[in-house]
A and B are shown apart, each in its own frame.
Chain A
Amino acid sequence: MLNRPATETQITHFQRLWLYMLVALVFAFLIIPCVIVIPMSFSGSKYLEFPPRSWSLQWYEAYLGSPEWRAATFVSLRAALLTTVFATTFGTLAAYGISRAYRAASSLARGVFMLPMLVPLILVAIGCYFVYAKIGLNGTTTGLVMAHTVLALPFVVIAVLSGLASYDMNQERVAQSLGASLPWAFLTVTLPQIRLSVMSGALFAFVTSFDEVVIALFISGGENATLTRLMFANIRDQIDPTVAAISSLLIGLSIILLVGSHLLRGREDRK
């Protein structure tokens, strides 16, 4: 088995053993920090241990029992859901406009919509903090959702543009020639066919907002402090096992979202 050639160039599996081992090690490096916290969060002792000597739900109880953590979770979820709504709507409209406008206009717009992905986050954070201070948006949900929507826009635009690339725009022109107005043609003919791309864009928008730390550190605070802000302060100042429970829940969430995006992509490919 090991002496069989692995590729067209007649390298055997045995000669490639080092490659397999190296890749396995890198995979272990990548995955261990993502899962090790889960068993530890069920530890029954006062400290985090692996493997735990006794099991309990004490850290989950501590999390759910704390008004502070609960409020922060609520703030983050609300901001993420609002961001998803705005970023998905604006991003889908923009992608549709970009794909159909004149080339010069669309390449300019494309550049503008990629900016939030390329500008260093710390600069966006202090910029927002500065301007929000002038207009009283610091510590508000509105300010946070505005900033997160901007961060999420590139991901939605990229996702929807890739959906539109494999869609035949003539269908919409046919609908128009049969008397449908442009908005009606878009809503009833185009949108249903690119809905998977729109949904995967929405998923990205949600994650972008929910996981965002740097901007939240600067502009969220008081009763509108996000979960990430609270976690950051907690991790910096002490190792509180409550964070292990929250982390495990977040890892669970990212697995659900990963599976969701995988299913969306799979269905897109099959079309």
Chain B
Amino acid sequence: MTMVLNHTGIADADHNADALKRQGSRERRALASLTLPGAILIFLVLILPIGWLFWLSFFGASGEPTLENYTRVLKPIYVRTFISTFEVAGLVTLICVLLGYPVAYLLSQLSERTAGLLMIFVVLPFWTSVLVRTYAWLVLLQRTGLVNTWLIDAGLISTPLPLVHNMLGTVIGMVHVMLPFLILPLYASMRAIDPVYMRAAANCGATPSQAFRQVFLPMSLPGLAAGVALVFVLCLGFFVTPALLGGGRVAMWAMQIANNISVYGNWGAASSLGVVLLVVTAIILYVFKRLFRVDSFEGVR
């Protein structure tokens, strides 16, 4: 009698567990489907068009299959653009590191309250439209702009300096846009470094600069790598600021793509340039992720 009861009890429990499991997996499938509206939209607006352009990049102007769009990327004019894009991106990233590292470091050493207040200087530009900031740089740097007027009034120069519509203006404007992208992840990772390590280094007899170089700097590298990868990649595809501050003298990848469409209507060429940009971007992000064990490029804002 007891045996039977026991047996049915177990069977019931099994049955129950199975039913629960079935319901659970049904529920989880339903939950996964909640991602569908957004995922479908991403497919329609992002994946499908880019896939289509990728397909298109293998056909010539008259519709015959060809690789000419990719061999053209190797032509001197495109190679020059490619190199100058990398130069600008590299220069901007370097300046961002030189300016951003000390800022993130100092902020990470202050109390959270003070750092939070000073963060306004980093976050306000971040929330201000890129267009507005680019316009402000134009107002500051143009021939009759504020900087030139001040320098002339101060008697330092007699003719206005060419500060904008060239490489210099482009780099200044881009650094201004990119700097917060470097400082924010770097600051977050420096905050996470326990001050106890620096104290321990000092206890072991390290001078302040030794402690910084051998303890703090290596520990801040993953955050720095995340910022560097992000800034570099954003620079590669940057359109607005170079288009407005470069005055046509700075050839950038994104502008080349735009021109191929709006000026020449050449979809094959624009597509192949776009595909190369996408692949380069993906490789850089992947390499940084692997090399420096960057957890994610999420949460920049």
Q: A: which residues have CB within 8 A of B?
A: 6-11, 19-20, 22-23, 26-27, 29-34, 36-37, 40, 47-48, 50, 89-91, 93-94, 96-98, 100-102, 105-106, 109, 112-124, 126-131, 146-147, 149-150, 153-155, 157-158, 162, 182, 204, 207, 210-211, 213-214, 217-218, 228, 231-232, 235-236, 239, 243-244, 247, 250-251, 254-255, 257-258, 261
Contact = CB atoms under 8 A, between A and B. Distances in A.
Contact of B298 (A114, A120, A247): A114
Interface in B238-260: 239-240, 243-244, 254, 257-258
Contacts of B53: 123, 126-127, 130
Given A23-B102, A23-B106, A130-B52, A9 B39 contact: no
A105 B45 CA distance: 21
B129 A29 contact: no
A102 B24 CA distance: 11
Given A23-B106, A30-B121, A37 B31 contact: no
A34 B52 contact: no
* Residue among A36, A129, A214 having the largest count of chain B Cβ atoms under 10 Å: A214
Given A126-B261, A254-B124, A258-B123, A7 B109 contact: yes
B106 A182 contact: no
A118 B281 contact: yes
B88 interface: no
Contact of A20 (B106, B201, B243): B106
B277 A120 contact: yes
Given A123-B237, A130-B52, A236-B243, A146 B34 contact: no
Given A7-B109, A129-B261, A255-B124, A36 B136 contact: yes
Contacts of A94: 34-35, 37-39
B129 A254 contact: yes
A231 B135 contact: yes
B254 A122 contact: yes
A90 B41 contact: yes
Contacts of A26: 99-100, 102-103, 179
A255 B124 CA distance: 7
A90 B37 contact: yes
A153 B47 CA distance: 14
A185 B206 CA distance: 57
Contacts of B46: 115-116, 119, 124, 127, 150
A182 B281 contact: no
Interface in B206-249: 206-208, 211-212, 233, 236-237, 239-240, 243-244
Contact of A235 (B135, B211, B233, B282): B135
Given A30-B121, A120-B277, A8 B239 contact: no
B73 interface: no
B39 A113 contact: yes
Given A8-B195, A20-B106, A158 B298 contact: yes
B297 interface: yes
B83 interface: no
Given A33-B125, A116-B42, A119-B281, 20 more contacts: A7-B109, A30-B124, A33-B136, A36-B139, A37-B135, A47-B144, A93-B38, A97-B35, A98-B35, A113-B35, A118-B285, A118-B297, A122-B257, A130-B49, A146-B45, A149-B41, A204-B301, A210-B129, A228-B131, A236-B243
B34 A247 contact: no
State the majority secondary structure of interface residues on B.
Answer: helix
Nearest to B107: A23
B102 A9 contact: no
B174 to A, nearest CB: 13
Nearest to A154: B298
B198 interface: yes
Contacts of B154: none
B1 interface: no
A28 B237 CA distance: 27
B129 A250 contact: yes
B96 to A, nearest CB: 10
Nearest to A243: B135
Contacts of B34: 93-94, 96-97
Contacts of A157: 38
A247 B136 contact: yes
